[in-house]
Amino acid sequence: MATKIRDIMTGSPTSVSPELDIVTVARAMRDEDIGAVLVAEGDDLKGLVTDRDLVIRGLAAGGDPSQSKIGGIASSVTATVGPDDSLDKAAQIMRERSVRRLPVIEDGRPVGIVSIGDLAIEEDSGSALADISAARSNG
């Protein structure tokens, strides 16, 4: 059983510039079949954008998504974990901060993302959340 974040995280996370438009990022997320991207300038993590952010803060807010910058809708990163942190630490942070994803930072740069689904699969592979998280995308 995995005990460290590095054992379950999604490595090599997709990062985008805060200057990219919402449509370009949405297409990248679709093409890569991912639900979140990190927003960064170089190794400097600026935020995180989920597919839900695209809808709620991007499309539903009005305006032209091909002109709106992704940096304007990114959620600020309130917490991170390191690759050698425990799964329990990640779960505790997610619970305390009410977040579903945490960037994984090593030597000051993003190296992965760990999600509540990743934890569910590892901790209780028979749970409904684990089943949903492990299932192939229907998109």
What's the pLDDT band for 132 if we cut at 50, 70, 90? very low
Per-residue tokens: 71: 């940096």
pLDDT cut 90: percent of the chain above it: 79
Structure-model confidence comparison of residues 23 and 121, the more confident one: 23
* CATH superfamily ID and name for 5-134: CBS-domain (3.10.580.10)
- Judged against a pLDDT cut of 80, whether residue 138 lies above it is answered with no
Residue 128 has what pLDDT? Answer: 47
Residue 121 has what pLDDT? Answer: 86
What mean pLDDT do residues 85-111 have? 95
CA distances from 122 to 63, 87, 133, 135 (A): 41, 9, 11, 14
* Cα–Cα dist 53/34, whole Å: 13
Task: Please return the burial class of 15, using the count of CB atoms within 10 Å of its CB with bins 0-12, 13-18 and 19+.
Answer: middle
- Judged against a pLDDT cut of 70, whether residue 129 lies above it is answered with no
- pLDDT tens column, 79-93: 999 999 999 999 999
Collapsed DSSP state (helix, strand, coil) of residue 38 = strand
- Judged against a pLDDT cut of 90, whether residue 55 lies above it is answered with yes
- Judged against a pLDDT cut of 60, whether residue 25 lies above it is answered with yes
Spans of all domains in the chain: 5-134
* Cα–Cα dist 93/27, whole Å: 30
Q: Kindly report the pTM of this predicted structure.
A: 0.85
Residue pair 50/101 in contact by the 8 Å Cβ criterion = yes
For residue 130, what is the enclosing H or E element? Answer: helix 128-134
